């Protein structure tokens, strides 16, 4: 696991997008694992800019999103389908047939989750997985206590996650209680993982995930076991770390290739 410090959210976004773009240029049919939330928004903005200004080509790229709320249709403004369409897909030349986001409206959830896992395997697995981190340490919607060996399944959201997301739903009572999420094992099988964290409110959980023990109490800590994972954090998110880590400089990208 490589920890890389950058100045702020803008630099974090540019750096992460740069790694993704380099890999797309080398392997056009790359499989990306994507996340929602505020943190990766800047990465998506940078990728859109590269598509518009540099012709970065997404026509053969496949994407799998981490999660979706159960009960929200793709047209619901707080669904992750809607988020991804508005913040990325409608601005780039993705083939809609190559976009996979868990379906929150599906009837047989467990059969669907099995299908989602199979699809990832069939397409050769995820090359680069982008992750945010929740204040409770979740990755995807793998809340504290999630099995480290878990696969795509339905999960009940934690109190902290519901509170954090209440601002999008006009109050705590309207936040869905469950979601479909890739499992921790699904995530950890990606060839390269890039975990992003920005801002003071993430500083404590970043410290626990990077410097604490690997534990299902902090699901993100699993990436300590991954042989090719980078944690890209800005100064505020890094502010409670007790060990020294490198500031992103020249040559760091070498490690971040597939």
Q: How far is the CB of 143 from ligand PGA (least distance, A)?
A: 10
Distance CA(127)–CA(97), nearest Å, equals 18
Question: What are residue 198's DSSP bridge partners?
Answer: none
| Nearer of residues 164 and 189 to ligand PGA, judged by Cβ | 164
8-state DSSP, 138:
-
- Pairs from 198-202 (Cβ < 8 Å, separation ≥ 24): 198/8, 198/9, 198/12, 198/39, 198/233, 198/234, 198/236, 198/237, 199/9, 199/234, 199/236, 199/237, 200/236, 200/237, 200/239, 201/135, 202/133, 202/135, 202/233, 202/236, 202/237
**Nearest C-alpha neighbor of 228 from the set 196, 198, 189:** 189
* 18 is an interface residue for ligand PGA by CB under 6 A: no
User: Is the Cβ–Cβ distance between 175 and 76 less than 8 Å?
Assistant: no
User: Is the Cβ–Cβ distance between 180 and 80 less than 8 Å?
Assistant: no
| Catalytic pick among 127, 136, 189, 234 | 136
Report the residue from 34, 120, 133, 157 that binds ligand PGA according to the rule CB under 6 A. Answer: 133
91 catalytic, yes or no?
no
| Nearer of residues 30 and 137 to ligand PGA, judged by Cβ | 137
Mark the segment that binds ligand PGA (CB under 6 A) among 6-14, 127-135, 221-229, 244-252: 127-135
User: Is the Cβ–Cβ distance between 44 and 88 less than 8 Å?
Assistant: yes
The residue behind tokens 């109490």 is 217
Q: How far is the CB of 165 from ligand PGA (least distance, A)?
A: 8
| Catalytic pick among 138, 226, 234, 236 | 138
Report the residue from 29, 38, 54, 253 that binds ligand PGA according to the rule CB under 6 A. Answer: 38
* 37 is an interface residue for ligand PGA by CB under 6 A: yes
The residue behind tokens 């999630």 is 146
| Nearer of residues 57 and 199 to ligand PGA, judged by Cβ | 199
* Joined tokens for residue 116: 């989602």
* 134 is an interface residue for ligand PGA by CB under 6 A: yes
| Nearer of residues 38 and 86 to ligand PGA, judged by Cβ | 38
136 catalytic, yes or no?
yes
| Catalytic pick among 68, 143, 164, 234 | 143
Residues contacting ligand PGA: total by CB under 6 A: 6
67 catalytic, yes or no?
yes
127 catalytic, yes or no?
no
* 168 is an interface residue for ligand PGA by CB under 6 A: no
The footprint of ligand PGA (CB under 6 A) covers 37-39, 132-134
């Amino acid at each position: 696991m490589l920890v890389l410090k950058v100045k702020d959210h803008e630099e974090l976004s540019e750096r992460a997008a740069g790694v993704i773009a380099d890999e797309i240029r080398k392997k056009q049919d790359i499989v990306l694992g994507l996340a929602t939330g505020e943190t990766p928004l800047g990465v998506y903005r940078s990728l859109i800019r590269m598509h518009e200004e540099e012709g970065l080509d997404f026509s053969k790229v496949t994407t799998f999103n981490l999660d979706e709320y159960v009960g929200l249709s793709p047209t619901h403004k707080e669904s992750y389908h809607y988020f991804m369409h508005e913040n990325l897909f409608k601005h780039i030349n993705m083939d809609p047939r190559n976009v996979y986001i868990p379906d929150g409206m599906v009837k047989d959830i467990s059969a669907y989750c099995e299908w989602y896992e199979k699809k990832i395997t069939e397409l050769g697995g995820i090359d680069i997985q982008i992750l945010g981190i929740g204040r409770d340490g979740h990755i995807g919607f793998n809340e504290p206590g999630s099995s480290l060996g878990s696969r795509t399944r339905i999960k009940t959201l934690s109190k902290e996650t519901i509170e954090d997301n209440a601002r999008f739903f006009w109050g705590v009572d309207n936040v869905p209680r469950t979601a479909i999420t890739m499992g921790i094992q699904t995530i950890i099988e990606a060839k390269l993982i890039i975990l992003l964290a920005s801002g003071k409110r993430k500083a404590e959980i970043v410290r626990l995930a990077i410097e604490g023990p690997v534990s299902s109490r902090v699901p993100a800590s699993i990436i300590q076991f991954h042989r090719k994972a980078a944690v890209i954090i800005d100064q505020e998110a890094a502010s409670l770390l007790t060990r020294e880590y490198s500031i992103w400089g020249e040559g760091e990208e070498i490690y971040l290739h597939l």
